[in-house]
Structure formats: structure tokens, C-alpha cells
Structure 1
Amino acid sequence: MTGSIMGTVPVEARAAALIAEARPDADADYLAYAVLAGLRGDLVDHLTQRGGMTLERVRAGVLAHTHAVLTGSAPPADLVSPPAGCDDAR
């Protein structure tokens, strides 16, 4: 899972830097890969096509997981709630 979001900085390195800033006590390199794994296209396809989840539910799950990794607590409801007008049953 390699890509670039800020010039020539790989996505994983940028994510690790942000995680290290938020959680200096954590293994930022590992957590960067763990968080980014939730965004893999094959996983999203599996969850939506075989798991019957909507993209909004997958999005909410990725946000909740990332929040828990970075803070150690449950995310606020407004962070993982589907956007207004979306009737996604969880």
C-alpha cells in the first residue's frame, strides 16, 4: 500500500508522522499501516459487496477505528454518524 499525498512523501510515512505527533508513546509505524489497511480497495469491496455494508458504514468504521487508535477512546457520535439525509442502518 504505497502512494504519495504530499509530493514525494509516501502515505505510510506521512500517516506515521501524524500518529507519532498525536501518540508519542505508540508504535507509529505499525499503527500507520494498521489504520491505512482499512482503506484498501479490496477490503472496501469485500465489505460492501459481500458484507452488505454501505460505503457510509465503512467510512464510519474507519473513522471510529482511527479515532480509537489515536485517542484510546470511543469516537464522538458526530464523527461517525452518516451525513444528514443518509439513512444508513448499522
Structure 2
Amino acid sequence: MLIDFNQAKLKQFDDLALKIITAPQDYLQFDSVADFYQATWLQEFPKGTTWSATGLDDGALEFYALIQYQQHYLHINCLSEISATFGISKY
């Protein structure tokens, strides 16, 4: 049996992203951008995943975050309400 490690990592990313989308109250609890960077679930994404967040400083109350593995991404908006979008980039 051959294992496609790339597909396995994409599935790992997709599975966690979908868990976050379907149960945001379990994952997306941020008071500031610093809380995003300290989220332990970020370590559950496959090795090679990148993440970044906007914000003027670590205490920024409103920010955007992007978590990405290859073309797959999870975009988080932390404004007056928190929302997340999962997708696959064409580029």
C-alpha cells in the first residue's frame, strides 16, 4: 500500500480547518492578536503550515489571520464578531 504523504498532510489540514469552521466556539476565542499566536491548536496543523496575523501590536483587538498549507487556507476575521472561511486558492 502506497501512502501519498502530501495528500495525507492536506487531509490533516482540511480536517482541522473544518473542525474549526463547524465548532468555532471551541477554537476561536481571542481577546487579542497575541491570543491567536498562543493558540495550542495551531500545532495540530501539518508541518509546513504557515500562519500570520495582522494587527498593530500584540494587544490588537481586531485583526485578520491566515493559516495556509500549500493552496489550502483558513482565513479568520477577528472584528466585532469572529468568523472563519476555509478554501483552496487557485494560485
Structure 2 length-normalised TM: 0.32
Question: Which of structures 1 and 2 has the bigger CA Rg?
Answer: 1
User: Bigger relative contact order, structure 1 or 2, given CA contacts below 8 A and separation 6+?
Assistant: 2
Give the number of the structure whose residues are more often helix, by fraction.
1
